Amino acid sequence: MSDKHRKICLKGSLVVLFMLLLQVSFGQDFSQADQFLVKNQKALGNELVVVVQKGGQPVYKKELGKDFTLQSTAKAEELTQWFVVATALLLNDEGKMKLDDPLAKFTPKYEQYMKGYITVRHALTHTHGLDAGKDNVGKIFSKNSFDNLNQENDVYITKRDIRSNPGEMFEYSRMGLGMAGKAMEAATKKSIDRLILEKLFRPLGMRQSTFSNDNGKVDPFAGAFTSGQDFLNFSQMLLNKGTLNGKKILSEDAVRELRKPQFTDARVVTKPDMYKNDDYCLTTWVTDKDGDGNATVIRQGLGGTQALIDFANNTVILILLKDPDGDKKKALTSELMTILAGK
């Protein structure tokens, strides 16, 4: 064998050894995930991205489908809510909109209908106390019927009955995100899609992420689009206590606020079955906590697209489907998430 071939073989061996050591160092065998994807790729819609990132580096990555990669854009679904709350926390950092400001500060009509006591925090935690009606958890997968956030909030203000004092009742629905989104628009004099683009997507280099869609509607509950790489940038910023590539996006206090379970004593009216035993932070589910009761693992997603951020282990798990709709995909994604999380 020539010296040239020996060097090539040596380099190849070192790469293989490095990958094996990398897998061992992170203490996880992904062969079960591989087998699951081989068996269920078609049922998941064929085109999907699955990635586990630890310490800012991918330790497991699958780009499945003809042209679907980490750079491909797809529906973010409920991951949208993380983009919204991060921007709300940014505005809180800037003093333009505090979490405990009443919605009536930004939309005075709330006060006129005796709903002036509802705060931005109540909206972001589904504890505003208004009757969710047809927008409750059983209808969240239906298309957003509102043309804009002004119209949406007008319905909530004038048509939805008060069922409890804010903070006393938890009813998961799309309502709260629309309420908070309208407050964000009023506080900044910018549409929420433009606001999130300028404050979050551009600074994080999330070039494929947008709220644009064919019908021109903006839905803060589940209407964003993102790519796998964009979402990894966003998640790593949270894991880095608000910083990415040396650029400060959120304060450390803001990230700590995101990890605090909210209104844990509130009476539960509705919760999605998959999160029925979990506490709730600002727009996110808590699947594990530390000794002080703060979230160490947060998770979001009710359909085929789901994500998990593990602060204790500096890990992100993302399953992004080109077409996330369907109960079977939801069940399969949840099973795959369990495998990837090693639980």
What pLDDT, in 10s, does the model give residues 42-72?
Answer: 999 999 999 999 999 999 999 999 899 999 9
Task: State mean pLDDT over 227-249.
Answer: 98
pLDDT at 2 over 70: no
Q: Which sequence spans correspond to the domains of the chain?
A: 65-258+265-294
Helices (H), the chain: 3-25, 31-40, 80-94, 109-112, 120-124, 149-159, 175-188, 192-196, 228-239, 252-258, 327-341
Between CA 278 and CA 283, with CA 280 as vertex, the angle to 5 degrees is 130
Which residue type does 299 have? R
Give the mean pLDDT of the chain. Answer: 91
pLDDT band of 25, cuts 50, 70, 90: very low
CB 316 within 8 A of CB 308: yes
Residues above pLDDT 90, as percent of the chain? 84
pLDDT at 236 over 60: yes
pLDDT at 6 over 60: no
pLDDT band of 217, cuts 50, 70, 90: confident
pLDDT at 81 over 90: yes
pLDDT at 14 over 50: no
Phi first, then psi, for residue 215 (nearest 5°) are -95, 0
Q: What is the pLDDT, as a whole number, of residue 100?
A: 98
Task: State mean pLDDT over 157-165.
Answer: 96
CB 49 within 8 A of CB 320: yes
pLDDT at 35 over 70: yes
| CA–CA distance, 265 with 73 (Å, rounded to integer) | 39
Which architecture characterizes domain 65-258+265-294 according to CATH?
A: 3-Layer(aba) Sandwich (3.40)
pTM to 2 decimal places: 0.90
Residue 289: C-alpha distances to residues 44, 89, 113, 281 (Å): 31, 21, 38, 11
